[in-house]
Amino acid sequence: MARQTTWLLAGAFVVVELLVVTLFVVFVLLPLARRSADDLAGLMVLSAQTWAELPPLTRPAFEEELFASHSLALRPANAAVGRDEWHPFFFYILEDALARRTGVTRHLLSESTPQGTWYWSTIETGSGALSVGLSKTRIGSQPLVALLVALVAGVLVAAALALWLARRITRPLALLEAASARIGQGTGPTLLPETGPREVAALSRRFNAMALQVQDLLTARTTLLAGVSHDLRTPLARMRLALEIMKTDPAAALIARMEHDIEQMNQLIANVLDLARGLEHEVPVTTELSDFLHEIAVDFSASGSVIFVDCPPGQMAIARHALRRAIGNLLQNAQRYAAGTRVDLVCTVERPGWRIGILDRGPGIDLSRMEVMFQPFQRGDPSRSPATGGSGLGLAIVRELAHANGWVVTLSSRPGGGLEAWITATILDSSFNGRTL
């Protein structure tokens, strides 16, 4: 790709340079050359006519002055000796200018002398023909050489610049290819530098975000597998022990205990599958939010501490099942870790959305661990005893539900002690069905 880009850019540069040179020659250099040739032809004709009209005694002085000031020489026409051969481009323009001045088309004759090459033209005067010559060095410019040098230099510069640009463009792509290969091999992703052209920087930024997401997914997968294997060992060990005991002493309590363990394992596997396959977005339904929260409070008050609801009446478009599940998980955590204390379920409804909070007076969570608690198998009780906590997937599921439905879930310390868990939703005005309360 770098080689193809280099050749393409270099070729485009050469074409542009040739176009510029052509336009410069046609519209700048050629008009200047014609104007200069016309002036020189006029000077040659005027010099020959002036020499013919001067007295013979003053002609040598005139010739010396003409040679010193204008690098022109005069001599009788029959003394001109030269060759009719190719000469530089400017002298052809000079021939045309002399033809317009004299009315006679003559080819310049070249002559090699110790002083260099001279070009002679025969000009008719009142006293006869006279040869006027000029040195090749009088025309010091070499436009063809200059154009050739400029073209070669331009090609070299274009090739170097094109190579630099191609490498600048392809190097990030090569890094992207290598980083993609490492991700495909299952190794840790290498983040790309977010520099270079805007499009390349944007591509690197998107790849880095994707790489971090892949890394998070791999970490979550490892955590899920490790957590499941850990949390399944305890009920499996109890079931194995119960089976051994039942060989000699079958008892209904052991069977009930095994059923409880099976239900616990089934719930754990269901939660893990929810996280593994991701939770889907639910279509919002217009609901009386206050009645909705009171229904949830009644369901959970029956199994634990009393839940107090503080929510003004008002209708709102909500994902009923997803929100019920998210609030339920947060209420379970509050009842588990703040048993015997008051739990408040509050909400505020204001344009353009709503905010629901679960507030308790439990021990709370250390500020440094609040974000960690949303990761799978993270629990407030480090002992992981079934008597003091669940599997550690409740908050992870709440965050997945929030991510699927466009909510934001936050944890914060409650003034006076305890924990506040808030679910916040922002609804576009077009889908806002409630009223400001």
pLDDT in tens, 174-187: 888 888 887 777 67
User: Could you tell me the two tokens for 236?
Assistant: 């499996």
pLDDT of residue 61: 93
Which DSSP category does 26 fall into? Answer: I
In percent, how much of the chain has pLDDT > 90? 16
User: Could you tell me the two tokens for 125?
Assistant: 């005067």
What mean pLDDT comes out for the span 329-350?
85
Asked whether the beta carbons of 131 and 122 are under 8 A apart, the reply is yes
Could you tell me the CA-to-CA distances from 356 to 332, 366, 394 in Å, in that order? 15, 22, 17
DSSP string, 42-71: HHHHHHHHHHHHS-GGGHHHHHHHHHHHH-
- How does the average pLDDT of the chain come out, rounded? 80
| Tokens 């002493």 sit on residue | 249
Say how far apart CA 309 and CA 293 lie, in whole Å.
Answer: 7
What mean pLDDT comes out for the span 359-374?
85
Cα dihedral across residues 313, 317, 320, 323: positive or negative = negative
Three-class HEC string of 273-299:
HHHHHCCCCCCCEEEEHHHHHHHHHHH
Which has the closest alpha carbon to 326: 412, 393, 413?
A: 393
What mean pLDDT comes out for the span 377-392?
56
Which has the closest alpha carbon to 437: 321, 257, 315?
A: 315
Task: Give the pLDDT band of residue 403 (cuts 50, 70, 90).
Answer: confident
pLDDT of residue 435: 35
Whether the pTM exceeds 0.85: the reply is no
Asked whether the beta carbons of 9 and 158 are under 8 A apart, the reply is yes
User: Could you tell me the two tokens for 46?
Assistant: 């005027």
Q: Is the pLDDT of residue 75 over 80?
A: yes
| Tokens 């700048």 sit on residue | 28
Which has the closest alpha carbon to 345: 275, 404, 394, 292?
A: 292
Which has the closest alpha carbon to 365: 398, 397, 330?
A: 330
Three-class HEC string of 152-214:
HHHHHHHHHHHHHHHHHHHHHHHHHHHHHHHHHCCCCCCCCCCCCCHHHHHHHHHHHHHHHHH
pLDDT of residue 384: 46
Say how far apart CA 111 and CA 280 lie, in whole Å.
Answer: 96
pLDDT of residue 221: 67
| Chain CA centroid to CA 53, Å | 80
Instruction: Quote the longest CA-to-CA distance of the chain.
Output: 154
Task: Give the pLDDT band of residue 257 (cuts 50, 70, 90).
Answer: confident
Residue pLDDT, tens place only, 120-175: 988 988 778 889 999 888 876 666 677 778 778 877 887 787 778 777 777 777 88
| Tokens 């939010």 sit on residue | 289
Q: Is the pLDDT of residue 292 over 90?
A: yes
Q: Domains, the chain, ranges and CATH?
A: 2-145 (3.30.450.300), 231-274 (no CATH), 279-431 (3.30.565.10)
Three-class secondary structure of residue 30 per DSSP: helix
Kindly list the strands in the beta sheet with 407-413, ordered across the sheet, starting from the edge strand earlier in the chain.
Answer: 307-310, 343-350, 353-360, 419-426, 407-413
User: Going by C-beta distance under 8 Å and a sequence separation of 6 or more, which residues neighbour residue 63?
Assistant: 51, 73, 74
Residue pLDDT, tens place only, 39-57: 999 999 999 999 999 998 9
Task: Give the pLDDT band of residue 437 (cuts 50, 70, 90).
Answer: very low
Asked whether the beta carbons of 117 and 135 are under 8 A apart, the reply is yes
123 versus 376: the higher-pLDDT residue is 123
Over its C-alpha atoms, the chain yields an Rg (Å, rounded) of 48
Q: Is the pLDDT of residue 383 over 70?
A: no
Q: Is the pLDDT of residue 433 over 50?
A: no
Cα dihedral across residues 153, 155, 156, 162: positive or negative = positive
275 versus 250: the higher-pLDDT residue is 250
Say how far apart CA 307 and CA 298 lie, in whole Å.
Answer: 8
User: Could you tell me the two tokens for 185?
Assistant: 């091999």
pLDDT of residue 155: 76
What mean pLDDT comes out for the span 360-374?
84
